[in-house]
Amino acid sequence: MEWTEALLERIDKLEPAVKAWVHLDREGARRTARERAAQAAGGAVVGPLHGVPVALKDIFDVAGMPTRAGAKAFAHRQPDTDATSVARLRAAGAVILGKVTTTTFALMDPSPTGNPWNPAHTPGGSSSGSAAAVGARMAPLALGSQTVGSVLRPAAYCGVVGFKPTHGRISAAGVVPLSWSNDHVGILVRAVEDAALALQILAGPDRADPLTVSHPVDDYLAGLGGGSAPAPRIGVLRALIERAAPENAEHLTEVTRRLSAAGATLGEVVLPASFAGLHDSGQVVVRAEAAAYHAPNFPRLAEEYPPKIREALTVGQGIRAVDFLAARSHLRRFRDEMASIALRYDALLTPTAPGPAPRGLESTGDPYFCAPWSHAGMPAIALPSGLSRDGLPLSLQLVGSAFAEARLLGAAAWCESLLDFREAPRA
């Protein structure tokens, strides 16, 4: 109970500047927190998230709360059932604080949210409120979604851990879709161990989502090694590091030196030929699938959509089936070619974003470095790794083999311990 009250007080203090929340369920959170406190006093623990406050991106259905998806009134709904991921959090004992901001329909039109490290800078998107809330210490755990770069890039900008598992590992039932074949439910927390715990709760097939898979769920917490995990094998995607902004490229190069000096085995990785044109193919798939989802509303309500998603849906409506299928084939080819490369390592190391969060709220930043792994459905995690000269967070991205989240999280925990990032935004 005290934790929930302390967070509500912190939200009241910081929200005028950060603007992360769209629906704060004070009474519902307090009621659940009181129930959890009474249960704990009686020796009963609901689950591993007993009493843990959680924030949810406003594309996740929560029974009794509006789902607005960052859009105008025509898109608002009042669901009477929880999204599968939300139901699993509740079953584990979580306290739902409420809903946080998203870009409109989880694309690129920015929300009003500011970066907790400096509100004049973007928090990233589309999971802007999720990252800002965790970064500002308003919540210890938030759910977001990533179709291109919408969990890891905001995590990087806000100085937190962002994690998306393999596509289909977590059910997306009850989550407003953008592109079914690219949408991932993602986790935003402050430590790798918390990401592993959340995945343990959320992972697994779901009849309500035909894209989930029945691949065995590992013991992700045990995979962290309890502080005694061996030094990982890391494949360094040097060409991507060199594409980052100079300050960030220099920072990540120094990080690789530190990892090597601490015992990690590093190897240089060359991207396969299918990387060429991958981003364009990914956009074809995302726009076409988004247009399909919005087909019932968009023709008559196009002017109600903000500019960037309106443009994407307009383009998506005109994509030919032959071009869509060719783009899907390209993404599968990249996934297949990356699979054999990723298997040789515990993780692949790349930038998460070109650099620190850009100034201004007109853009959510560049998803270039996250997009390939979303399109390939590979698990990826962003780790805060230092501060820029302007005092904004920098981040590295680790990518793993499909369904090898335990191995990826183990490597991430080892790197996290070495990096020892303890900075926090000013309250």
Out of 85, 126, 179, 395, which one is annotated catalytic? 126
Q: How far apart are the first and last CA of the chain?
A: 22
Out of 111, 130, 150, 374, which one is annotated catalytic? 150
Domains of the chain and CATH, by start: 1-265+338-427 (3.90.1300.10), 278-328 (no CATH)
| pLDDT tens digits, 292-301 | 999 999 999 9
Residue 178 confidence (pLDDT) above 70: yes
Q: Model confidence at 342, in pLDDT bands (50, 70, 90)?
A: very high
The answer to whether 256 and 266 are in contact (CB under 8 A) is yes
Q: Model confidence at 386, in pLDDT bands (50, 70, 90)?
A: very high
Q: What is the largest CA-CA distance in the chain?
A: 62
**329 in catalytic set:** no
**57 in catalytic set:** yes
Q: Report phi then psi at 396, rounded to 5.
A: -115, 155
The answer to whether 350 and 412 are in contact (CB under 8 A) is no
Q: Model confidence at 227, in pLDDT bands (50, 70, 90)?
A: low
What pLDDT sits at residue 379? 98
What pLDDT sits at residue 1? 77
Out of 19, 57, 99, 164, which one is annotated catalytic? 57
- What is the pLDDT averaged over residues 326-344? 98
Two structure tokens written together for 420: 């020892």
| Share above pLDDT 90 across residues of the chain, in percent, rounded to a whole number | 98
- Angle among Cα 408, 409, 415 to the nearest 5 degrees reads 95
> What is d(CA 343, CA 346) in angstroms, rounded to the nearest whole number?
7
| pLDDT tens digits, 121-170 | 999 999 999 999 999 999 999 999 999 999 999 999 999 999 999 999 99
What pLDDT sits at residue 274? 98
Residue type, 366: D
Two structure tokens written together for 394: 């920098």
